[in-house]
Amino acid sequence: MPRYVIERTLPGAGQLDDQQLHDISAKSNEVLDSMPDVTWVESYVSDDKLFCVYDSPDADSIREHAEQGGFPCDAVNEVRHTISPATGR
């Protein structure tokens, strides 16, 4: 299954409190309940952006999830390779 990194601009994302993050997560899960082929792996929250990792059969499904959930979706990038410090050893 292809893996994607999604960039979402959300001004003030780094200031969201636990309840707000819970609510965003719950909405995402609600949408994903109707999309059995799409799996949310994790997300990283920075000051004004979210970087989300999803497994999905295609980028269009990622965009559909964003549309149904009312989430921003600035870029959808397919992961071609994963590297780490161990790659260079």
78-87 per-position pLDDT tens digit: 999 999 999 9
Please report whether residue 89 resides in a domain: no
Which stretches does DSSP call E strand in 1-89?
3-9, 39-45, 49-55, 75-78
What total number of domains does the chain contain?
1
In a domain, 75, yes or no: yes
Q: 7 is in which domain, residue-wise?
A: 3-84
Q: What is residue 15's predicted lDDT score, i.e. its pLDDT?
A: 98
Q: Could you tell me if residue 13 is inside a domain? A: yes
Q: Is residue 71 part of a domain?
A: yes
Q: Could you tell me if residue 29 is inside a domain?
A: yes
Q: In Å, what is the CA distance from 20 to each residue of 1, 12, 25?
A: 30, 12, 9
pTM beyond 0.85 = yes
Give the span between the Cα atoms of 10 and 12, in whole angstroms. 6
According to the model, what pLDDT value does residue 43 have? 98
CATH code for the domain of 36: 3.30.70.3090
